[in-house]
Amino acid sequence: MERPGGLIRWHKQPLTRTTRAGSCAQTAQTRQTPQTPQTAQTAQTARPHKPEALLLFTSVDDVATRLAETGYLASTAVATTVFLADRLGKPLLVEGPAGVGKTELAKAVAEVADARLVRLQCYEGVDESRALYEWNHAKQLLRITAGRDESWDETRTDIFSEEFLLPRPLLTAIRGSDPKVLLIDETDKADVEVEGLLLEVLSDFQVTVPELGTITAETRPFTVLTSNASRELSEALRRRCLFLHIGFPDEELERRIVRLKVPGLDEELARSVVRVVGALRAMDLRKAPSVAETIDWARTLLALGAGSLDENVVRDSLGVVLKHQEDVLKAAAKLDLDAV
Q: How far is the CB of 179 from another protein (least distance, A)?
A: 20
Within 8 A by CB and 6+ apart from 98, the residues are 228, 290, 292
Q: Is 149 among the residues that bind another protein (CB under 8 A)?
A: no
By CB under 8 A, is residue 232 in contact with another protein?
yes
Q: According to the binding rule CB under 8 A, does residue 267 interact with another protein?
A: no
- Does residue 133 touch another protein according to CB under 8 A? no
Would you give the distance in Å from CA 65 to the centre of its chain? 21
Backbone angles phi, psi at 189, to 5 degrees: -80, -25
Stretch that binds another protein, among 28-36, 148-156, 255-263, 326-334 (CB under 8 A): 326-334
Q: Which member of 90, 119, 137, 143 binds another protein (CB under 8 A)?
A: 90
Is-contact 289 277, C-beta < 8 A?
A: yes
Quick one: angle between helices 251-261 and 291-304, nearest 10? 50
Contact string (CB under 8 A) for another protein, positions 238-257, x = contact: xx--xxxx-xx-x-------
What b/e string do you get for 134-166 counting C-beta neighbours within 10 Å, with b at 16 or more?
Answer: bbebeebeebeeeeeeeeeeebbbbbbeeebbe
- Does position 272 interact with another protein (CB under 8 A)? The reply is yes
Q: Considering beta carbons, is residue 73 or 165 the nearer one to another protein?
A: 73
What would the DSSP string read from start to end of 113-182?
HT-EEEEEE--TT--HHHHTEEE-HHHHHHHHHHTTTS-HHHHHHHHTSGGGEEE-HHHHHHSSSS-EEE
Q: How many CB atoms lie within 10 A of CB 70?
A: 14
CB 77, min distance to another protein, A: 4
Position 98 contacts another protein (CB under 8 A): no
For the chain, what's the residue count? 340
Among 9, 12, 143, 275, binds another protein (CB under 8 A): 275
Nearest distance, CB of residue 127 and another protein, angstroms: 15
Angle at 41 between CA 35 and CA 44, to 5 degrees: 115
Bridge partners of residue 134, in order along the sequence: 166
Binding of residue 84 to another protein (CB under 8 A): yes
Give yes or no for residue 266 binding another protein (CB under 8 A): no
* Segment contacting another protein by CB under 8 A, of 18-26, 43-51, 65-73, 310-318: 310-318
Residues at the contact surface with another protein, assessed by CB under 8 A: 60, 76-77, 80-81, 83-85, 87-88, 90, 95-96, 229-232, 235, 238-239, 242-245, 247-248, 250, 271-272, 275-276, 278-279, 282, 284, 286, 308-311, 314, 326, 329-330, 335-336
